[in-house]
């Protein structure tokens, strides 16, 4: 084994299990849970995250692409795996071969799946995605009946589900979500009028918190499983006992002392205003620690907050430890998560970066070595 990186993203399987159980407690036993593990489980590691969720009771998983579903099957994950971006011709073959449940919204995908199911001698369940206002994937409301008629022409396919997605469920003061749910219910009535009884789902993390009546047969928690809320205001208004799953830590490589008036990092955009002690960390935008956080970001050293000084480099940044004299080379620095009594949350980093917590988790998880731990 080679020398590991100084930087590590720690993923707490116990926290992941806890969060799944919190969602289960909230929605009750009658509603199924599709644990969303797309995008490498939001940067937390697809396979180990799915395994931890299985330990907590998850039996259904949502992925973006067929390749993710195949990897889950190869890792021994059973139960339903819904491919939420749908399939192409190659994806159709793998979806049938690995018993994945594809979302469909084009005739081309339907034809490809039917051909593969016929070839495999099986009937394949598919879930129709309808667009009630997201403007993304899915058939439009007026296309529902023709699409259902097309599906019925393929004896190797059957309708197992109907799904949609809200664009503003996490927006405070939003009123359009209720209108879009009414449209979804109307579409469901039109489906049921044909004698079909597919499972129905539309609730992401924000929806399952705000609108119990919209949980339908199944909910699709994503960000909440990983210990975050879709928006800051939801954290205050709909408190759920969620635990952050990810922690991003590194090691102090050098400690340096500078006089007042010393320019720091590229462009000398920061100049010391007093004798200053800086800890140099091997973390930069190559690690997902975005350059635009310069002048705003803080890290934890010895359990205390230390501001990042100067521009963030590709593989380095500097933290001001003038007021934390005990910091030395080899100490741990925490960029996300707990250290002692201190904590930096993904929501803070998102504000410093002018983005959302989803992106922060995905960036940190994809750009750094993942280490899976179990705090139980």
What letter does residue 98 receive in the DSSP assignment?
A: T
Nearest to residue 327, comparing CAs of 283, 280, 263, 260?
Answer: 280
Distance, in Å, from the CA atom of 326 to the CA atom of 332, rounded to the nearest integer, reads 12
The answer to whether position 208 is within a domain reads: yes
The answer to whether position 372 is within a domain reads: no
Do 167 and 70 lie in a common domain?
A: yes
The answer to whether position 99 is within a domain reads: yes
Distance, in Å, from the CA atom of 93 to the CA atom of 318, rounded to the nearest integer, reads 50
The answer to whether position 3 is within a domain reads: no
Contact assessment for residue 319 and residue 250, using Cβ atoms and an 8 Å cutoff: no
Do 227 and 263 lie in a common domain?
A: no
* Residuewise pLDDT in 10s, the chain (376 residues): 688 899 999 999 999 999 999 999 999 999 999 999 999 999 999 999 999 999 999 999 999 999 999 999 999 999 999 999 999 988 999 999 999 999 999 999 999 999 999 999 999 999 999 999 999 999 999 999 999 999 999 999 999 999 999 999 999 988 999 999 999 999 999 999 989 889 999 999 999 999 999 999 999 999 999 999 999 999 888 878 999 999 999 999 999 999 999 999 999 999 999 999 999 999 999 999 999 999 999 999 999 999 999 999 999 999 999 999 999 999 999 999 999 999 999 999 999 999 999 999 999 999 999 999 999 8
Contact assessment for residue 208 and residue 219, using Cβ atoms and an 8 Å cutoff: yes
Contact assessment for residue 274 and residue 315, using Cβ atoms and an 8 Å cutoff: no
pLDDT at residue 1 in the model: 60
pLDDT at residue 235 in the model: 86
Do 231 and 274 lie in a common domain?
A: no
In terms of DSSP bridges, do strands 199-203 and 157-163 run parallel, antiparallel, or are they unpaired?
parallel
Do 261 and 162 lie in a common domain?
A: no
The answer to whether position 147 is within a domain reads: yes
The answer to whether position 323 is within a domain reads: yes
Distance, in Å, from the CA atom of 37 to the CA atom of 56, rounded to the nearest integer, reads 14
What letter does residue 48 receive in the DSSP assignment?
A: H
Contact assessment for residue 329 and residue 250, using Cβ atoms and an 8 Å cutoff: no
pLDDT at residue 238 in the model: 86
Contact assessment for residue 124 and residue 117, using Cβ atoms and an 8 Å cutoff: yes
- The residues facing 342 across adjacent strands are 339
Catalytic residue among 25, 38, 158, 289: 38
DSSP three-state, residue 336:
strand
38 assigned to active site: yes
Distance, CA of 12 to chain centre? 15
pLDDT at residue 135 in the model: 97
Count: domains in the chain = 2
Single residue among 188, 203, 237 that ends a domain in this structure: 237
Phi-psi region of 329 (alpha: psi -120 to 50; beta: other; left: phi over 0): beta
CATH number at residue 326: 2.40.37.10
Distance, in Å, from the CA atom of 240 to the CA atom of 236, rounded to the nearest integer, reads 9
What letter does residue 178 receive in the DSSP assignment?
A: H
266 assigned to active site: yes
Backbone angles phi, psi at 33, to 5 degrees: -125, 120
Do 141 and 92 lie in a common domain?
A: yes
Do 187 and 323 lie in a common domain?
A: no
Distance, in Å, from the CA atom of 174 to the CA atom of 170, rounded to the nearest integer, reads 8
Contact assessment for residue 228 and residue 361, using Cβ atoms and an 8 Å cutoff: yes
Measured CA distances, 244 to 227, 289, 345 (Å): 4, 18, 8
CATH number at residue 32: 3.20.20.10
**What residue numbers bound the domain in which 302 lies?**
246-344
Spatial CB neighbours of 189, under 8 Å, sequence gap ≥ 6: none
Do 282 and 211 lie in a common domain?
A: no
- The residues facing 219 across adjacent strands are 33, 203
Q: Would you state the torsion angle of the CA atoms of residues 67, 92, 62, 131, taken in this order, to the nearest 10 degrees?
A: 130
Do 123 and 188 lie in a common domain?
A: yes
User: How many C-beta atoms surround the C-beta of residue 74 within 10 A?
Assistant: 10
The answer to whether position 8 is within a domain reads: no
The answer to whether position 355 is within a domain reads: no
Catalytic residue among 25, 238, 266, 328: 266
Distance, in Å, from the CA atom of 32 to the CA atom of 200, rounded to the nearest integer, reads 10
Per DSSP, helices labelled H in the chain are 13-27, 38-43, 46-56, 66-74, 89-97, 107-120, 144-152, 176-192, 205-210, 232-237, 346-353, 357-367
User: How many C-beta atoms surround the C-beta of residue 266 within 10 A?
Assistant: 12
């Amino acid at each position: 084994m080679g020398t590991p990186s100084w930087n590590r993203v720690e993923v707490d399987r116990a926290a992941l299990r806890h969060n799944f159980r919190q969602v289960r407690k909230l929605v009750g036993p009658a509603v199924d849970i599709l644990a969303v593990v797309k995008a490498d489980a939001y940067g937390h590691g697809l396979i180990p995250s799915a395994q931890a969720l299985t330990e907590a009771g998850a039996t259904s998983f949502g992925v973006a692409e067929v390749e993710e579903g195949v990897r889950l099957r190869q890792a021994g994950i059973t139960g339903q795996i819904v491919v939420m971006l749908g399939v192409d011709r190659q994806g159709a073959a793998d979806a049938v071969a690995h018993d994945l449940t594809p979302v469909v919204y084009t005739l081309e995908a339907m034809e490809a799946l039917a051909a593969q199911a016929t070839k495999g001698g099986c009937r394949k369940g598919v879930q129709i995605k309808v667009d009630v206002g997201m403007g993304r994937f899915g058939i439009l409301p007026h296309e529902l009946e023709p699409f259902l008629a097309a599906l019925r022409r393929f004896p190797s396919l059957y309708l197992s589900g109907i799904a949609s997605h809200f664009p503003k469920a996490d927006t405070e003061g939003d009123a359009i979500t209720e209108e879009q749910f009414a449209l979804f219910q109307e579409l469901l009535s039109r489906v049921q009028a044909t004698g079909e009884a597919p499972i129905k789902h539309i609730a992401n993390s924000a929806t399952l918190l705000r609108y119990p009546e919209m949980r339908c047969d199944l909910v699709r928690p994503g960000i909440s499983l990983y210990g975050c809320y879709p928006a800051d205001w939801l954290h205050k208004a709909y408190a759920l006992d969620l635990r952050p799953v990810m922690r991003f830590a590194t090691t102090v490589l050098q400690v340096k002392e500078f006089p007042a008036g010393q320019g720091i990092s590229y462009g000398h955009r920061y100049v010391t205003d007093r004798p200053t002690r800086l800890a140099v960390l091997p973390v930069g935008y190559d690690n997902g620690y975005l350059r635009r956080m310069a002048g705003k970001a803080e890290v934890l050293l010895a359990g205390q907050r230390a501001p990042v000084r100067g521009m963030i480099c590709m593989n380095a940044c500097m933290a001001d430890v003038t007021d934390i004299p005990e910091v030395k080379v080899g100490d741990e620095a925490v960029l996300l998560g707990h250290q002692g009594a201190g904590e930096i949350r993904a929501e803070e980093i998102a504000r410093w970066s002018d983005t959302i917590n989803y992106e922060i988790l995905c960036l940190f998880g994809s750009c750094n070595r993942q280490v899976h731990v179990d705090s139980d």
